[in-house]
Amino acid sequence: MSEVAHYFGAEMPVPVDLPSETTEGACGLVVFENKGRRVIRGVSWGFPRLTREMRERGEEPGIIGLVADLTNPMWDQMALDPRYRCLIVMSHFANPDGVPGARTRTWFSLNHMPLMAWAGFCRNIPDQGPRFAGVSMDANAAVAPTNDRMPVLLDPHEYDRWLHSPIQDVIGFQFRAPFSAERFKVERTQDLWNSGKRPPSADKQLALL
């Protein structure tokens, strides 16, 4: 974990015990700024979502883990305020591949980079603690066969811009061209989508975590 903190120029005040993989509702690593210092900590993935229709039907709150459109008014308060912005730490991300009922895991990581920074938002939710969600964008040619959306990824020189820029620049990250397909390593596996198995190349990156 100390290597991850060093990679992002962040402090880790308390140790983080991560699950083997981060799915919605589980703990992931995020980097945020506090009084000019970057701090890394474990945070649960997904903001609670309870619509009027859900409330009328007596349903429990759901989880929304992706920010699909920053121009949607539901994100106005969070997107405007730099206090809520964060970097979500990833080594890989996966999409289901293949036919329904037998979907397998296809993994994506960046060539020559041990970790990825996913643009996100993090805030404390009353009675639930800190939660995060990641921003999505149109997929590149490497990801598109499995999903028409992908994470908004940031290069190291863009971290400060994401964390501090005005709202126009923040929205611009979502609607710019994605990282090129050539920057990605794609690993197709025969592991079923719900298998919980890691990507074949994960050992070196996950050793950092």
Provide the whole-model pTM.
Answer: 0.91
Written as one string, the DSSP assignment of 5-62 is HHHTT-B-SS-----SS--TTSEEEEEEEETTEEEEEEEEE-EEE--HHHHHTTPPPE
C-alpha neighbours within 13 Å on the C-beta side of residue 81: 9
Distance CA 152, CA 13 (A): 27
Q: What is the pLDDT of residues 42-72, one digit of tens each?
A: 999 999 876 667 666 776 778 899 999 999 9
Q: What is the pLDDT of residues 10-40, one digit of tens each?
A: 998 888 888 888 999 999 999 999 888 999 9
